[in-house]
Amino acid sequence: MALSEQEQRLLDEMERSFYQNDADVVSTSPRSGAAVTTRAVVVAFLSVAVGIGVVVAGVATNIPVLGVVGFVLMLAGVVYAFAAPKGAASQSDPLPTGRPSPKSGDSSDGSFMDKLGNRWDKRQQGE
């Protein structure tokens, strides 16, 4: 089904707005995915496994305090895995303030993602 001119203009305007807002969100969002390390995941897995064992032992021996200790051990392991490292705030690079403007001509400078972004911007501008 073909769109009328008004609908096409509205769709184009919505796309431009979306791409601008998307770039703003990406450039200002915190980088939280890098906080989880392999070591933290292994420690969390081991503490959850030991915690489950302690909970089962508490149920088997009919000692409720042992079950609570096992639960706390499991919870502590998960919290440790997802907590940010102590030096994360001082070691992280400052977040970029906005999307870099496309370079004219020379595309040999910049990262791979910058080059892709520049190509996308040129394509959207009809160049």
What per-residue confidence (pLDDT) applies to 70? Answer: 93
What per-residue confidence (pLDDT) applies to 93? Answer: 44
pLDDT digits (tens, 9 = 90+) for 56-110: 999 999 999 999 999 999 999 888 888 856 554 444 444 444 555 544 544 456 7
Q: Cα(5)–Cα(75) distance, rounded to whole angstroms?
A: 58
Residue 83's CB is within 10 A of a number of other CB atoms, namely 12
What per-residue confidence (pLDDT) applies to 91? Answer: 44
pLDDT at 121 over 90: no
pTM: 0.43
What per-residue confidence (pLDDT) applies to 19? Answer: 79
**3-class secondary-structure state, position 57:** helix
What per-residue confidence (pLDDT) applies to 90? Answer: 42
What per-residue confidence (pLDDT) applies to 46? Answer: 93
Mean pLDDT (the chain, rounded): 76
What per-residue confidence (pLDDT) applies to 27? Answer: 63
**C-beta separation of 23 from 99 below 8 A:** yes
27 vs 37, higher pLDDT = 37
